[in-house]
Amino acid sequence: MDLLIILASGVATGTVLLYATVGEAFAERSGILNLGVEGMMLIGAMAAYKTAAATGNAWLGLLVAMLAAGLISQVHAFITITLQADQVISGLALNFLATGISLVLGEGLTSLRDVVPQLPKFTIPGLAQIPWLGRVFFDNQSILVYAGFLFIPLAWYYINRTRPGLHLRAVGEYPAAADTLGIHVYFLRYFYVFVGGTLAGLAGATISLSISPGWFGALTTAGQGWIAVGLVIFAQWNPIRAAFGAYTFGALRRLVLDIQAPVLIFGLANPFYSNLNYAFFLKMLPYIFTVVFLVIGSREANRKRIGSPAALGLPYIRGQRGL
């Protein structure tokens, strides 16, 4: 059944969004909005691919990608935490900067296809035999997809059930109170911006070393970093909801690509097969759905009175009144 293959590759594609979204959720939980996800993902994708090409080791590429994206995120951290500048405009700036750096350092990588090693793919015996679900989740997936399955509950547990997670939430909700309790507000904010950066780098590396291997300049991410920023709001800063959103969007992205292939759908003529020009409207769908998700998310948040972290977007200045 073709649908299962589409869903399986949707899970793989969604893994990219999963890492980026949860990474951004970590940064925002600490009170720092980082709009540079798209740029950091590009840095990660470029660094991973370049390192793997140079050393022949995909794992080293993954490591360098996470470090490089984490490092570039500290530009945003310094400007917003220490210099107390506006987080929106600094995030936009980081995006330009990171995109530019990845384009300059990624020069010449486009032509390297087929010689660059990729991360391993394998089937999990036993689990893959589960009807339907096995084919979708456990059949010949990248190791990073499986790592994603483990990452979701761990991230949720860390944020909601551990002491460092409590500190993280405190710093984002009420930094002044956290400070009086001896929690290092500035350090933790730097740290979680770094965490967000490394996860965005991981997301980028997931693309270039595994899901759609290669370096295609700014088209490598094609706006997925921005979709991730949108998903964080839909996910209400919760890793489990983020995973739901990420896999849904992954499936949607694949559907858009794959729906043009079959001649018949459910026994009817496939309109997208006969007229390829409709594909342009299909390609709009992920972006339209992001906006729809935002509407749903904000209405739901209104109804349940779930807000963003209270100190999100605000600089913390020790000794000043306010949050």
Partner 1 sequence: MAEINNTKSASSWKFPFRIKIENRVDNPPKWLSPTLSVGAIIIALLIGAIVIWMGGGNPWAAYSHIAKYSLGSVGVLSDTLVKAIPLMLVGLACSIAFRMKLWNIGAEGQFFLGAFGASLVVLLPILPEDAPKWLFIITMAFFGMLFGALWGFIPGLLKARYNVNEIISTLMMNYIAIEWNNYFIYAVWSERGFQMSRMFQRNAWLPRLSDLSTRWPFFSGLTTHFGLVFAVLAAIILWLILSKSKWGYEIRLIGDNPKAAEYAGISIKKNIVLVMMVSGALAGLAGMSEIGGVVHRLQGAISPGYGYTGIIIAWLAKLNPLAVILASILFGALILAGREVQPAGIPTLIQGMIMVTLIASDFFYRNRVTIIRRVED
What does the binding site for partner 1 look like in residue numbers (CB under 8 A)?
A: 35, 39, 75, 78-79, 83-86, 88-90, 92-108, 217, 223, 226-227, 229-230, 233, 277, 280-281, 283-284, 287-288, 290-291, 294-295, 298-299, 302, 317-320
The two tokens of residue 22 are 């949860």
Nearer to partner 1, 104 or 263 (CB): 104
Q: Position 144: which residue type?
A: L
Nearer to partner 1, 184 or 299 (CB): 299
The two tokens of residue 309 are 């972290």
The closest of 33, 50, 52 to 95, measured between CA atoms, is: 33
Nearer to partner 1, 7 or 231 (CB): 231
Helix (H) or strand (E) holding 236: none
**Cα dihedral 140, 141, 147, 150 sign:** negative
CB-based contacts of 11, cutoff 8 Å, min separation 6: 136, 137, 141, 145, 247, 250, 251
Nearer to partner 1, 39 or 250 (CB): 39
CB-based contacts of 150, cutoff 8 Å, min separation 6: none
Nearer to partner 1, 117 or 313 (CB): 313
Nearer to partner 1, 144 or 185 (CB): 185
**Cα dihedral 290, 296, 297, 302 sign:** positive
Q: How far is the CB of 179 from partner 1 (least distance, A)?
A: 13
Query: In angstroms, rounded to a whole number, what is the distance separating the alpha carbons of residues 72 and 96?
Result: 12
The closest of 58, 63, 89, 62 to 76, measured between CA atoms, is: 89
Q: What is the DSSP string of 166-195?
A: HHHHHHHH-HHHHHHTT--HHHHHHHHHHH
Token pair 């660059």 is found at 116
Q: How far is the CB of 98 from partner 1 (least distance, A)?
A: 7
Q: How far is the CB of 206 from partner 1 (least distance, A)?
A: 21
Q: How far is the CB of 95 from partner 1 (least distance, A)?
A: 7
Q: How far is the CB of 154 from partner 1 (least distance, A)?
A: 27
Q: How far is the CB of 36 from partner 1 (least distance, A)?
A: 10
Nearer to partner 1, 134 or 217 (CB): 217
Q: How far is the CB of 110 from partner 1 (least distance, A)?
A: 10
